[in-house]
Each structure stands twice: as structure tokens, then as C-alpha cells.
Amino acid sequence: MRRLAATVQQIRENSSPRNLTTDDTQPLSRLSQLLARLYRFWLALALLLLSIGTVLDLVDDRRLATETVPLAELPAALIHMDPAAFESVALLIVAFGPVAGLLTIIVSTARQGDRRTAGVAVLVLVVVAVLPIVRSLGGR
Amino acid sequence: MTHWTEIAIFLVSALSGTLGAMVGLGGGVFMVPIFSAFLGVPIKFAIAASALAVIVNSLGGASVYLQHRMVNLRLALLMLVATALGAIFGALLVASAPVNALRLVFSLALYAMIVLLSLQRATTRPVTTGSDRFQLATNFFDPAVGGVVSYIPQHVLLGTASSTIAGLLSGLLGVGGGFVQVPLMNVLMRVPVKAAAATSAYMIGVTVVGSVLLYYANALLVPQVAVPAALGVFLGSQVGSRLGRRVHGRWLKRVLMAILLYLATTLLLQALGVPVPGTR
């Protein structure tokens, strides 16, 4: 009976994600946790701003904004509590989420001396940055 | 646009996000046709909102998968180089090559993937021994099987090169490309379907970043559409990524096959000149 209880306990421990391996100490495992936290924070920030913008919009004219605010006009629009400005900032924050993730990977892996992963991440960032330029040239 | 339309956009996005996060897609392939054909949203606004929603879905879904260490980060980065390059070529092809010919080729490729997936057993045995030149071997806990699943991705160079196709499709259709990445990783690279879906969920967000920034610059990202879409997809991705961990790989594969069939048929009809609601 005691052996059965010990076996059940061992199975429980093994099936917990926290205890599945010893790779808690491995750099990529920690990086995954860091990225998960960053993504959650990033989304929370974007959702907070989206909520503020939506509430201001509904109070103002009961409709969501029909266009975003151009980048150059964003600071002034934010100071004037323009709902569209909050929504625009939130949408931009969402868009830069994956870029922030890539930068985190680059910094984290470079610090750990994992040059290969850092190098590949830099390459991805460069290619991702090139895409909008190429598309602009393509007339899209 | 009425409040009911905004609510409908939210609900459609939530459903797309749930399904998308479960199988590693952004959900854009559902949102664009439904928004434009059934909700009266102009197609360009629908595509822009969908691309943004793909990022939200990726951030929301990947955060859960990253937390549970299901995303193979090294594999994702390696494949992203090729995917992003493919997206550039796709964007260039849109402007210069006959799109219908490309659509025909891609639809045939998707049908071929469906056949491959149906031939492959749902419980594909991952490779756990052998060489790992790129240090991509990893493991994750699968609650559905109640244990740790280890694997070493196979045919890495071929798989990475082939993921260019996902990028090409992303550039052509304004989608994340997960519907190519997941079967590619699962069938060719022998990555367990859940790890493939998780890794793809991370990748699709990075793939569409460039497009979204361009949409913003061109004033195509309309808050009236993008805000309810983003909120709906966020909710859906949270539900989908949690469901995805508990549902058996067999069911995930069936859902994926159904999505591929829908996409392949849509592309084929477009290539043959048959009008498909909501498509470009």
C-alpha cells in the first residue's frame, strides 16, 4: 500500500510541467519563460490602451474611430486624450510585439554566449525589417 | 458600420482565434472572407485587421505555449529566416507574376499536403536518437498523453528551405503561413503536431509584422474593425491554446486537414476564375 502511494506520488510529480525535466536550468528554457512574460505584459499593455481608447470613444460619440492617427500627430493627440490616438498606439504596440520578442532573444542569447542563436535572430530581424521596404517599392 | 457589426467582428474573431491557436494558425484565412463577404467590411480593411489579429493570436497563443516550453525557439528562428525571405518574394510576385497560376500551384501543393497528412498516422513517432547537428532536440510535457515527449527535428535544411513556401503564401494572401508550417514540421521534420502548432504560433506573428506596419502607414488599419478583431482574437487565442494542449494530436490533425481542404479549394476556385466571396 505504501509502495502504491509512493508510486502515485511519483507519477504526480512527473506529470507536473514544473518537474518534467531538469531543463529549468537550461538557457533556452529560461528564455521561453522570459518571452512568455514579455508577451503577456505586451498584450496587457495593448489591451489596457485599447480599453481606454474604446471607453473614451464610446463616451465621446458612441462609435469606434474610423481611422488611425498618423505617427507624427500621435504625441499631440495623446495629450488631447484623443480616443483614436490611444487605439492607434495600442495597435502599434501589438504590431511591435514580435519585434520586441526578437530583440529579447538577441540580447538574452548574446549574454549567454549563444552566438549561433543570437546571429540567426539578428538575421530574422534584418529580413523582417526589409519586408516593409520591399513591399513599399512593390507599390503595396 | 453598426454596433452589431462590431460585435459580430468580435465574435467571428474569437472563434477564429480559438481554432487558429489550437492548430498553429493565425485565423486570418477565416476572418478575411467572413468580414468582407458577410459583414460588409471593405476587403483591404479586413486584410489589415486580420494581419493585426494574426499577431495578437501569435502573442496570446505563443505566451501560453512558451510558458509550457512547447515552442522550439531555435527551430522557429531557423525557419523564420526562410519564411521571411519567402514573404519578400511573395510580395514581389504579387506585383509581377500571374497570380492565378501561382494560386493553382499552391492549391495543388495544399492538396498534396492533405494527402500526406491523411497517410501519416496521427501519433507520428518522433525521432529521439541520432545526430542533432543544429542542436534542435528538445522536449515538452503533453497532458493528453500524461508524459514528456522528446524529439529531434529531421531533414532540417530541407524543411527550412521548404518553409519559404509558407512565406510566399503569406506575402501573396496576407496570412501568417501557419497552415504550411504545421504540416511541414509534422510530416517532413517529424516534429510532434503539438510542438509544431506551438512553434508555428510563435512564427506567424513575426512573419506578418512588416505587412501590419505597412497597413498602418497606408491608413488601412481601421480601429473600427481592428479593435474588435484584436480583442476577439486575444480571447480566442487564450481559449484555443489551452484547449490545444489537452486535445489529442489526432483531432488537431483532423482540424488542420479540414482547414487545408478549405484553403486549397478556395485557391483552386480562384485560379479557375470562379468568384469566391471575400477573397482577393
Least confident of A29-43, A85-99, B240-254, B258-272: B240-254
Contacts of A109 (CB under 8 A, 6+ apart): A27, A31, A115, A117, A118, A121
Quote the number of domains for chain A: 2
Instruction: State the amino acid at position B242 in one-letter form.
Output: R
Reported as a pLDDT band with limits 50, 70 and 90, residue B97 is low
Supply the range of the domain harboring residue B39. 3-271
pTM of the model: 0.80
Q: Which residues of A touch B148 (CB under 8 A)?
A: 14, 20-21
Query: Residue B279 domain-assigned?
Result: no
What tens digit of pLDDT does each residue of B195-229 get?
A: 998 999 899 888 888 778 877 877 888 888 998 99
Looking at CA atoms only, how far is residue A80 from chain B in angstroms?
18
Quote the number of domains for chain B: 1
Q: Which residue in B200, B206, B214, B233 has the most chain A C-beta atoms within 10 A of its own C-beta, making it the best mutation to test that interface?
A: B206
- Residue B94: per-residue pLDDT: 59
Query: Residue A79 domain-assigned?
Result: yes
Supply the range of the domain harboring residue A47. 29-95
Q: In terms of domains, do A76 and A119 share one?
A: no
Q: In terms of domains, do A64 and A88 share one?
A: yes
CB A98 to CB B55 under 8 A?
A: yes
Q: In terms of domains, do A106 and A87 share one?
A: no
Q: Which residues of A touch B214 (CB under 8 A)?
A: 132, 135-136, 140
| Helices B73-96/B193-217 angle, 10° precision | 50
Least confident of A116-130, B84-98, B224-238: B84-98
Q: How many inter-chain contacts (A to B, CB under 8 Å) are there? A: 181
How large is the average pLDDT for residues B3-11? 88
Q: In terms of domains, do A84 and A54 share one?
A: yes
Using a pLDDT cut of 70, give the percent of chain A over it: 74
Q: Which residue in A124, A126, A134 has the most chain B C-beta atoms within 10 A of its own C-beta, making it the best mutation to test that interface?
A: A124
**DSSP code for A72:** G
Looking at CA atoms only, how far is residue B107 from chain A in angstroms?
24
Using a pLDDT cut of 70, give the percent of chain B over it: 88
Reported as a pLDDT band with limits 50, 70 and 90, residue A137 is low
Of the partner residues A35, A50, A96, the one whose CB lies closest to the CB of residue B227: A50
Residue A17 confidence (pLDDT) above 70: no
CB B68 to CB A17 under 8 A?
A: yes
Element (H, E) at B150: strand B147-151
Q: In terms of domains, do A43 and A90 share one?
A: yes
Looking at CA atoms only, how far is residue B272 from chain A in angstroms?
25
Say if the ipTM goes beyond 0.90.
Answer: no
Reported as a pLDDT band with limits 50, 70 and 90, residue A14 is very low
B244/B174 Cα distance (integer angstroms): 24
| Pairwise pLDDT comparison (B237 vs A22), residue with the higher score | B237
- CA A82 to chain CA mean position, Å: 25
How large is the average pLDDT for residues B87-109? 70
Q: In terms of domains, do A135 and A121 share one?
A: yes
CB B148 to CB A20 under 8 A?
A: yes
Q: In terms of domains, do A48 and A91 share one?
A: yes
Query: Residue B278 domain-assigned?
Result: no
Query: Residue A46 domain-assigned?
Result: yes
Q: In terms of domains, do A45 and A78 share one?
A: yes
Q: In terms of domains, do A59 and A106 share one?
A: no
Q: In terms of domains, do A81 and A104 share one?
A: no
Q: In terms of domains, do A60 and A86 share one?
A: yes
How large is the average pLDDT for residues B53-81? 90
Whether residue B150 lies within 8 A of chain A, CB to CB, comes out as: no
- Residue A13: per-residue pLDDT: 44
CB B212 to CB A95 under 8 A?
A: yes
Residue B107 confidence (pLDDT) above 60: yes
CB A96 to CB B206 under 8 A?
A: no
- Residue B277: per-residue pLDDT: 64
Of the partner residues B59, B210, B221, the one whose CB lies closest to the CB of residue A91: B221
Q: In terms of domains, do A90 and A102 share one?
A: no
Residue B23 confidence (pLDDT) above 80: no
Query: Residue B280 domain-assigned?
Result: no
